């Protein structure tokens, strides 16, 4: 029999391990507060749904590279964020950014024998994408390029999932200098960029790898990923984008010509319309800010601590300062007894052990219930 199927050396899907805690949390008399996943729960804005419906008549195949409309909208959005102008050949829509993260190494020609550097505390799909390409993922501290081994590709994620850390322009410049010195592609996943909380970030915006003062006007070797899932409540649309060095976008488009992965035409139109509007993004951020403040206050009352460097994004990155050893699962269990489900740090790498990730993506009523339950934890001592 042929030696198939093979699973690319992928790890077991970690979320299955959370089922017992989920059952425990669901047995709470007032129901579960599920803060374990970052899936948006607020409605997709009406004007985006209308744009989708207006473009519903789509009998022909969409172009692989994307419509002029959506590529211009991407460039306009990038300009408004202070990124360098990469031109029309440097901007394409993608089907979601999870898919882009998982397949980008393969699309760029990364292969067996290559090394892909991934943040040591990270969304697991960077590791998965390296493995799908047959390459070796190596976890590194994204702020310490001086410690990185040689590699063909490097992933950055700022603001970070799960830790909410934001790389400064200096840190981004250091990563870029390293990548250029080593001839590595530098890919930056910036899908939480619209969700800064710290006042200086709110004022100046979250730094991007493509900012003028970071890449000094030169996008060579750089790809930035962005997603409309979080900023526009469009996770169900699978609407995301790649912007950067046209020489790196070109092979992605070439492989897509052969293999598909075209973004559906109605989604491309809805994306263009959403990217042109910042009002709904601000409104959504205000909702998350209220939820974040409620949970932060309740965490304080419960004697738990959010990472002080968690300053942007959709998650709190929580630990119990009184715990004798770093044990994420003990904290998951303690919170599940209150009917609150969170994700253990262990899902995000060895270096994340001891913390849990608490998402802001639940309805206001569930966030309020979680806050009350946390506060009661503090009263129990
Ligand atoms: C860091 C990071 N990148 C990418 C994604 C995927 O987003 P989407 O596939 O919805 O665009 C997520 C989703 O949670 C994420 O946390």
Q: Best substitution site from 104, 123, 206, 310 to test ligand 1's pocket, by max atoms within 8 Å of Cβ?
A: 123
In Å, what is the CA distance from 358 to each residue of 36, 225, 277?
6, 24, 29
Phi, psi of 90 (to 5 degrees): -110, 15
189 lines ligand 1 (CB under 6 A): yes
Query: Would you state the pLDDT for residue 1?
Result: 62
Query: Which CATH code is given to the segment(s) 14-39+280-380?
Result: 3.90.1150.10
Among 15, 93, 98, 241, the mutation site with the greatest number of ligand 1 atoms within 8 A of its Cβ is: 98
Q: Which of 97, 160, 361 to mutate to test the pocket of ligand 1 (most atoms within 8 A of CB)?
A: 97
- Mean pLDDT for 281-304 is 97
Tell me, what's the pLDDT at 326?
A: 87
Ligand 1 within 6 A of 36 CB?
no
pLDDT at 11: 81
pLDDT beyond 90 at 64: yes
**381 has pLDDT over 60:** no
Question: Looking at ligand 1, which residue's alpha carbon is closest to its atom 6?
Answer: 98
pLDDT tens, position by position, 13-40? 888 899 999 999 999 999 999 999 999 9
CA of 98 to the centre of ligand 1 (A): 5
Q: Is 188 in the pocket of ligand 1 (CB under 6 A)?
A: no
pLDDT digits (tens, 9 = 90+) for 328-355: 999 999 999 999 999 999 999 999 999 9
The atom of ligand 1 lying closest to the CA of 157 is 1
Domain residue ranges in the chain: 14-39+280-380, 56-277
Give the chain's mean pLDDT.
Answer: 96
Pocket test for ligand 1, best of 39, 101, 188 (most atoms within 8 A of CB): 101
Per residue in 192-223, pLDDT (tens digit) is 999 999 999 999 999 999 999 999 999 999 99
The two tokens of residue 321 are 């300062």
pTM (2 d.p.) = 0.97
| Helix (H), strand (E), coil (C) string for the chain | CCCCCCCCCCCCCHHHHHHHHHHHHHCCCCCCEECCCCCCCCCCCHHHHHHHHHCCCCCCCCCCCCCHHHHHHHHHHHHHCCECCCCHHHEEEEECHHHHHHHHHHHHCCCCCCEEEEECCCCCHHHHHHHHCCCEEEEECCCCHHHCCCCCEEEEECCCCCCCCCCCHHHHHHHHHHHHHHCCEEEEECCCCCCECCHHHHHHCCCCCCEHHHHCCCCCCEEEEEEHHHHCCCHHHCEEEEEECHHHHHHHHHHHHHHCCCCCHHHHHHHHHHHCCCHHHHHHHHHHHHHHHHHHHHHHHHCCEECCCCCECCEEEEECCCCCCCCHHHHHHHHHHCCEECEEHHHHCHHHCCCEEEECCCCHHHHHHHHHHHHHHHHHC
Q: What is the pLDDT of residues 242-275, one digit of tens each?
A: 999 999 999 999 999 999 999 999 999 999 999 9
Distance 366 CA to ligand 1 centre (A): 23
| CB of 231 sitting under 6 A from ligand 1 | no
What burial letters (b/e) apply to 324-335, b meaning 16+ CB within 10 Å? eeebbbbbbebb
Q: How confident is the model at residue 356 (pLDDT cuts 50, 70, 90)?
A: very high
Nearest CA to ligand 1 atom 14: 38
Closest ligand 1 atom to residue 38 Cα is 14
Q: How confident is the model at residue 374 (pLDDT cuts 50, 70, 90)?
A: very high
Residue nearest to atom 16 of ligand 1 (CA): 161
How far apart (Å, rounded) are the C-alpha atoms in residues 372 and 151?
47
**Distance linking the first and last C-alpha atoms of the chain:** 61
Answer yes or no: is the C-beta of 191 below 6 A from any ligand 1 atom: yes
As a whole number, mean pLDDT of residues 318-327 equals 92
Nearest-5° Cα angle at 121, 362 to 230: 35
Whose structure tokens read 């738990």?
Answer: 304
Does the pLDDT of residue 90 top 80, yes or no? yes
User: Contact at 8 Å (CB) between 212 and 187?
Assistant: no
**Top-tier CATH class for 56-277:** alpha beta
Greater confidence, 375 or 225? 225
């Amino acid at each position: 029999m042929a030696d198939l199927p093979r699973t690319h050396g992928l790890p077991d899907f970690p979320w299955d391990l959370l089922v017992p805690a989920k059952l425990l949390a669901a047995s709470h008399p007032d129901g579960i507060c599920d803060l374990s996943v970052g899936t948006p729960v607020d409605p997709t804005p009406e004007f985006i749904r209308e744009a989708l419906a207006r473009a519903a008549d789509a009998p022909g195949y969409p172009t692989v590279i994307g419509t002029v409309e959506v590529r211009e909208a991407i460039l306009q959005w990038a300009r408004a964020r202070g990124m360098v102008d990469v031109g029309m050949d440097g901007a394409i829509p993608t089907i979601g950014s999870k898919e882009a993260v998982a397949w980008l190494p393969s699309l760029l020609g990364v292969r067996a024998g290559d090394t892909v550097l991934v943040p040591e505390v990270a969304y697991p799909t960077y590791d998965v994408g390296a493995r799908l390409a047959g390459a070796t993922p190596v976890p590194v501290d994204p702020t310490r390029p001086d410690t990185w081994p040689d590699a063909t590709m490097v992933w950055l994620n700022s603001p970070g999932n799960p830790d909410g850390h934001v790389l400064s322009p200096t840190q981004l410049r250091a990563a870029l200098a390293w990548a250029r010195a080593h001839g590595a592609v530098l890919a930056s996943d910036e899908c939480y960029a619209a969700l800064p909380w710290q006042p200086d970030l709110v004022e100046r915006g979250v730094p991007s790898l493509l900012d003028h003062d970071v890449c000094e006007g030169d996008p060579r070797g750089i790809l930035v990923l962005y997603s409309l899932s979080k900023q526009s409540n469009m996770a169900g649309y699978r609407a995301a984008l790649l912007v950067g060095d046209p020489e790196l976008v070109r092979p992605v488009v070439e492989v897509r010509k052969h293999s598909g992965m075209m973004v559906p035409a109605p989604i491309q139109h809805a994306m263009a319309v959403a990217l042109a509007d910042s009002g709904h993004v601000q409104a959504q951020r205000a909702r998350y800010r209220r939820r974040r403040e409620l949970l932060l206050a309740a965490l304080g009352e419960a004697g738990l601590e959010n990472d002080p460097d968690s300053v942007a994004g959709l998650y709190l990155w929580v630990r119990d300062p009184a715990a004798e050893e770093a044990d994420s699962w003990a904290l998951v269990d303690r919170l599940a007894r209150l009917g609150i489900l969170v994700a253990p740090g262990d899902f995000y790498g060895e270096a994340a052990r001891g913390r849990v990730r608490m998402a802001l993506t639940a309805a206001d009523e569930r966030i309020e219930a979680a806050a009350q339950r946390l506060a009661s934890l503090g009263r129990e001592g």
